[in-house]
Amino acid sequence: MKRYKVETHLHTSEASLCSEVCASDMIDALKERGYDAVFVTDHFFNGNTAIDRSLEWCEQIDMFCKGYENAKARGDEIGVKVFFGLEFNNQGNEFLIYNISKQWLKEHNEIMWLDIEEALNLFRSAGAFVIHAHPFREAWYVKEMRVFPKCVDAVEVFNGKNTPERTNEKALEFAMAHNLPMTAGSDAHKTDEILCGCSFENPIETESDFISQLIEKKVELVQEYYYK
């Protein structure tokens, strides 16, 4: 029986400074590997952004959304559903934000100076779905590992870029301890890093489809292999 595979964590060179591949090429690679949908989650301005921070705020948002918009245009051409998201950073702790709009971002530049709990709660009050990305990643830029079980809606328990393996194992334990829904994502910055995602029995046509099936735990985590 066919299942519908969704990439939940992907970066494009249009908006993420560390990404090596443009949005349309990423979508072509996803199509080749059998993915039906993707959330484009470029690094926001408090992360490794490619956006010129000297621009006016609304111009920055327009530039930031180019990765998603180019991905969606290509996805519409070849039959891959593309959804908007972003990766929000605070001292190396990162969160995937889904179900938020470009217009909302333009109206809320205060998210850049709010305390992280305040920022996450503001996102959620606007209807966003917040996933704690790779919460136990061991990396030079992670100043302090912190978890926020009351401020998130789900936990990324398998991240294709995480090494060593214990970092994903800790995320799984954290999600289970707090009864939070679980996701898997590649954290892809180039096409050969498309490694994993979420699989569903029913098609994902909207962000709400993804969120509702995830909350109802109608999901299987796809873990093809680790990035080395």
Helix (H), strand (E) counts: the chain: 7, 9
Average pLDDT over residues 106-125: 97
The residue extents of the domains of the chain are 4-223
Average pLDDT over residues 86-90: 97
Cross-strand bridge partners of residue 183: 156
Q: Which residues contact residue 162 at a Cβ distance below 8 angstroms, ignoring those fewer than 6 apart?
A: 134, 137, 168, 187, 226
pLDDT tens for residues 140-157? 888 888 999 999 999 999
Dihedral (CA of 143, 183, 214, 6) sign = positive
Measured in residues, the chain has a length of: 228
Separation of alpha carbons 169 and 61, rounded Å: 35
Q: Which region, left, alpha or beta, applies to residue 187 given φ > 0 means left and ψ of -120 to 50 means alpha?
A: left
pTM over 0.85: yes
pLDDT tens for residues 160-210? 988 778 999 999 999 999 999 999 999 999 999 998 999 999 999 999 999
| Integer angstrom CA distances of residue 106 from 30, 42, 57, 72 | 29, 16, 7, 20
4-223: CATH topology is TIM Barrel (3.20.20)
